[in-house]
Amino acid sequence: MSQKILLNQKEVSIILHRLACQLIENHLDFKNTVLIGIQPRGAQLATRLKQILTEEYNVNDVLLGFLDITFFRDDFRRGETLEANKTQINFLVENKKVIFVDDVLYTGRSINAALTAIQSFGRPSEVELLVLIDRRFSRHLPIQPDYRGRQVDAINNEKVVVKWSETAGEDSVELITI
């Protein structure tokens, strides 16, 4: 097994700020826009983006929620036991612009599950996708991000691992060959 650093702490910070600026360009004051972190790994990224938007760019009233997609996945009943996370959406998404946030876009199946799961909270007027890493050669479904931090060419025996300072001591993205 080998590993390669794709993004170091400084590069992750630059990308997060760029993504925040792109969100501001397209959504201005976030009056009708909500961020939804896809549990578990998209929650940290969404939290970080909200923090940057509010603290560094003075964007107030950013609504942030976390969506668990475990029971909406198409592989839910296939062998391995999945552990559910907590959905925390304390607002309706009816007629709002929803931005799904996830760390890595791989096959597209998680986003497909999120599109189904969000319907329980209302019908969004629009849905966008923001990902830190876009693995472009592994898609099973025709899903593409609206905002991407970095595009990575990874094959099936490679895994992209995103590490956050809150849980791993520093922000980084690694490519691990299995």
Instruction: For residue range 124-135, list pLDDT tens digits in order.
Output: 999 999 999 999
75 falls in which pLDDT band (50, 70, 90)?
A: low
Grade residue 136 by pLDDT with cuts at 50, 70 and 90: confident
Query: What tokens were used for 58?
Result: 């003075």
Band of residue 178 on the pLDDT scale cut at 50, 70, 90? confident
Q: For residue 84, name the pLDDT band (cuts at 50, 70, 90).
A: confident
In this structure, which CATH number among 3.20.20.140, 3.40.50.1980, 3.40.50.2020, 3.90.1640.10 belongs to the domain 9-154?
A: 3.40.50.2020
Tell whether omega for the bond before 145 is within 30 degrees of 0, i.e. cis: no
50 versus 178: the higher-pLDDT residue is: 50
Domain ranges of the chain: 9-154
What's the confidence (pLDDT) of residue 71? 81
State the pLDDT at residue 170. Answer: 93
Contacts by 146-149, CB closer than 8 A, 24 or more apart? 146/99, 147/19, 147/22, 147/23, 147/99, 148/105, 149/7, 149/15, 149/16, 149/18, 149/19
